[in-house]
Amino acid sequence: MRLSGKRIILGISGSIAAYKSASICRLLISEGAEVQVVMTESAIQFITPLTLSVLSKNPVATGMVRPDQTWENHIEKGLWADLILVAPASAQTLSAFAEGRCENLLQAVFLSARCPVMVAPAMDHDMYLHPSTSHNLAVLKSRGTLVLDTVTGELASGLYGEGRMQEPETILERVCLHFSNRNLPLSGKTILLSAGPTREPIDPVRFISNHSTGKMGIALAQALQESGAHVILVAGPLQRPVPKGIEHVPVETAAQMLMECLRYFPGCDGAIMSAAVADYRPVNPHDQKLKKNGAELNLNLEPTADILATLGQQKSANQVLVGFALETENELEHAQSKLERKNLDLIVLNSLRDVGAGFGTDTNKVTLLFRDKKTVEFPLLSKDETARRIVDSFIPLINANA
Ligand code: C5P
């Protein structure tokens, strides 16, 4: 049991996602955690305290004063917990946390806490995207609150968009990761990783793509996670399953990949761009399937945005950026100039001339080039081992910025 002996306060605020808090409570208990539940008045409208007290095997606290007129000691609760998990965290609760308000028991417990606090936001699309909410989340992150991302999907309002709370199983994984990762070299770090190919539509049934399978990207995701990082994987269609606990943001086109990378990069400590992004896309994809008529067909292509170079322009002094280069001639020279042009800290060079390296194989042979022109050449290794060696070289760069 991964949470044996861990004391967790499960805070529940007023959102329809509160019905999932019962599952979260059960999952925490099944991993051996001791759970005390604190609910806001509006959470009680969505799920009964009785459900949570049966599941947590503890009385549920809902106000500053108990029904028997005794005082609910919020300070004691704040000191008792190893982690406060607020799931769902409504827009209202996040705003109160960011402003330091103390209008209910959950807010008082938050202010008294000496332990880490993790919040799983849940709200409607427009509320989530409102600048006030973004600001509140940024304030909380800057003060060390662990903010889980929301997922895109169907919302209770009937709208489709961002703001759905992460599923209970994912939240459990994040809690377990939080406790298991504390002493690893990338503990507390969030790393953005791009992987796989992109697909650039020609018409509704055809696209331009490449041979990338995403194997190297998945191996990197795993190596980063094993080193304690929280990994956000923005990936085109992958031919391998994404390991548990990795935040997977699926995309298809280079434009979508750029948009998602730009969204997540500011909140990350570093980024590794291993995706094989299409360099060109059809100018005007056809709405209908192109019919063959026996004549020649010309496709007009335009360049896609260079995601890595865009991140290189936006990179702050304490972020680390790693790119890949697949070269067929003058490899070292081309890779070094790419590193400088795209403002990278490290570039991983693959040569298609090496047997066993490149797309689809289980092995790879890479050379690392650093900003100070130092190079490190690895022999032919499995992609998993190559990924571990890349991450081993990445860790000192991240920690140099800490
Ligand atoms: O310039 P070149 O395509 O060789 O650079 C390869 C590196 O740039 C890889 O890290 C790849 O993920 C990234 N890249 C990108 N966006 C593009 C093209 C490449 O992020 N449009």
pLDDT digits (tens, 9 = 90+) for 234-257: 999 999 888 877 889 999 999 999
Which helix (H) or strand (E) element contains residue 250?
A: strand 247-250
What pLDDT, on a 0 to 100 scale, did the predictor assign at position 195? 98
Residue that finishes a domain, picked among 180, 205, 222: 180
CA of 269 to the centre of ligand 1 (A): 20
Residue that finishes a domain, picked among 122, 150, 180: 180
Higher pLDDT residue, 386 or 363? 386
Ligand 1 atom nearest to 261, measured from its CA? 20
- Give the closest residue (by CA) to ligand 1 atom 2: 325
What pLDDT, on a 0 to 100 scale, did the predictor assign at position 196? 96
Residue 63 pLDDT greater than 80, yes or no: yes
Annotated catalytic residue, options 58, 73, 210, 401? 210
Contact 304 CB / ligand 1 (< 6 Å): yes
Ligand 1 atom nearest to 274, measured from its CA? 12
What pLDDT, on a 0 to 100 scale, did the predictor assign at position 182? 67
Radius of gyration of the chain, Cα coordinates, nearest whole angstrom: 24
Contact 273 CB / ligand 1 (< 6 Å): yes
What pLDDT, on a 0 to 100 scale, did the predictor assign at position 207? 98
d(CA 313, CA 323): 14
For residue 292, is it within any domain? no
For residue 290, is it within any domain? no
For residue 287, is it within any domain? no
CA 6 to chain centre: 24
Number of domains in the chain: 2
pLDDT in tens, 335-367: 999 999 999 999 999 877 777 666 667 888 999
pLDDT in tens, 187-243: 889 999 999 999 999 999 999 999 999 999 999 999 999 998 989 999 999 998 888
* Predicted model pTM: 0.67
CA of 372 to the centre of ligand 1 (A): 21
CA-wise closest residue to 308 among 221, 198, 194: 194
What pLDDT, on a 0 to 100 scale, did the predictor assign at position 123? 95
- Which residue among 258, 277, 311 is best mutated to probe the pocket of ligand 1, counting the most ligand atoms within 8 A of its Cβ? 277
CATH number of the structural domain spanning residue 52: 3.40.50.1950
What pLDDT, on a 0 to 100 scale, did the predictor assign at position 181? 65
CATH number of the structural domain spanning residue 378: 3.40.50.10300
What pLDDT, on a 0 to 100 scale, did the predictor assign at position 358? 66
- Which residue among 209, 273, 274, 368 is best mutated to probe the pocket of ligand 1, counting the most ligand atoms within 8 A of its Cβ? 273
Contact 277 CB / ligand 1 (< 6 Å): yes
- Give the closest residue (by CA) to ligand 1 atom 5: 325
Contact 349 CB / ligand 1 (< 6 Å): no
Residue 264 pLDDT greater than 70, yes or no: yes
Q: Are residues 37 and 85 both part of a single domain?
A: yes
For residue 295, is it within any domain? no
Calculate the alpha carbon distances from 241 to 82, 209, 215, 217, 246 in Å. Answer: 32, 20, 10, 11, 11
Q: Are residues 233 and 148 both part of a single domain?
A: no
Q: Are residues 149 and 244 both part of a single domain?
A: no
Which helix (H) or strand (E) element contains residue 380?
A: none
Residue that finishes a domain, picked among 145, 180, 215: 180
Quick one: pLDDT band at residue 402, thresholds 50, 70, 90?
Answer: low
Ligand 1 atom nearest to 310, measured from its CA? 20
Q: 88 preceded by cis ω (within 30°)? A: yes
Ligand 1 atom nearest to 338, measured from its CA? 1
Residue pointed to by tokens 């929280």: 230
Q: Are residues 83 and 215 both part of a single domain?
A: no
User: Quick one: average pLDDT of 37-59?
Assistant: 97
Quick one: pLDDT band at residue 275, thresholds 50, 70, 90?
Answer: very high
Quick one: pLDDT band at residue 329, thresholds 50, 70, 90?
Answer: confident
Structure tokens at 69: 């007129």
What is the percentage of the chain residues whose pLDDT exceeds 90?
A: 75
Structure tokens at 391: 């991450």
Q: Are residues 167 and 278 both part of a single domain?
A: no
User: Quick one: average pLDDT of 45-67?
Assistant: 93
Does residue 164 contact residue 153 with C-beta atoms inside 8 Å? yes
Question: Which region holds residue 373: left if phi is over 0, alpha if psi is between -120 and 50, else beta?
Answer: left
Q: Beta-carbon neighbour count of residue 343 at 10 Å? A: 16
Q: Are residues 332 and 375 both part of a single domain?
A: yes
For residue 20, is it within any domain? yes
User: Quick one: average pLDDT of 151-165?
Assistant: 84
CA of 397 to the centre of ligand 1 (A): 21
For residue 2, is it within any domain? no
Q: Are residues 197 and 121 both part of a single domain?
A: no
What pLDDT, on a 0 to 100 scale, did the predictor assign at position 184? 87
Ligand 1 atom nearest to 347, measured from its CA? 10
d(CA 273, CA 193): 6
Q: Beta-carbon neighbour count of residue 297 at 10 Å? A: 8
Q: Are residues 48 and 196 both part of a single domain?
A: no
User: Quick one: average pLDDT of 77-96?
Assistant: 94
d(CA 187, CA 185): 6
Structure tokens at 231: 């990994």
For residue 259, is it within any domain? yes
What is the percentage of the chain residues whose pLDDT exceeds 70?
A: 98
Which helix (H) or strand (E) element contains residue 392?
A: helix 383-400
User: Quick one: average pLDDT of 76-83?
Assistant: 88
Structural domain of residue 209, as residue ranges?
Answer: 190-282+300-400
Contact 275 CB / ligand 1 (< 6 Å): yes
- Give the closest residue (by CA) to ligand 1 atom 9: 324
Q: Are residues 250 and 199 both part of a single domain?
A: yes
d(CA 61, CA 38): 5
State the chain's mean pLDDT as an integer: 92
Contact 133 CB / ligand 1 (< 6 Å): no
Q: Are residues 166 and 266 both part of a single domain?
A: no
For residue 278, is it within any domain? yes
Q: Are residues 132 and 197 both part of a single domain?
A: no
Question: Catalytic annotation on 210?
Answer: yes
Q: Are residues 201 and 126 both part of a single domain?
A: no
CA-wise closest residue to 178 among 103, 115, 91: 115
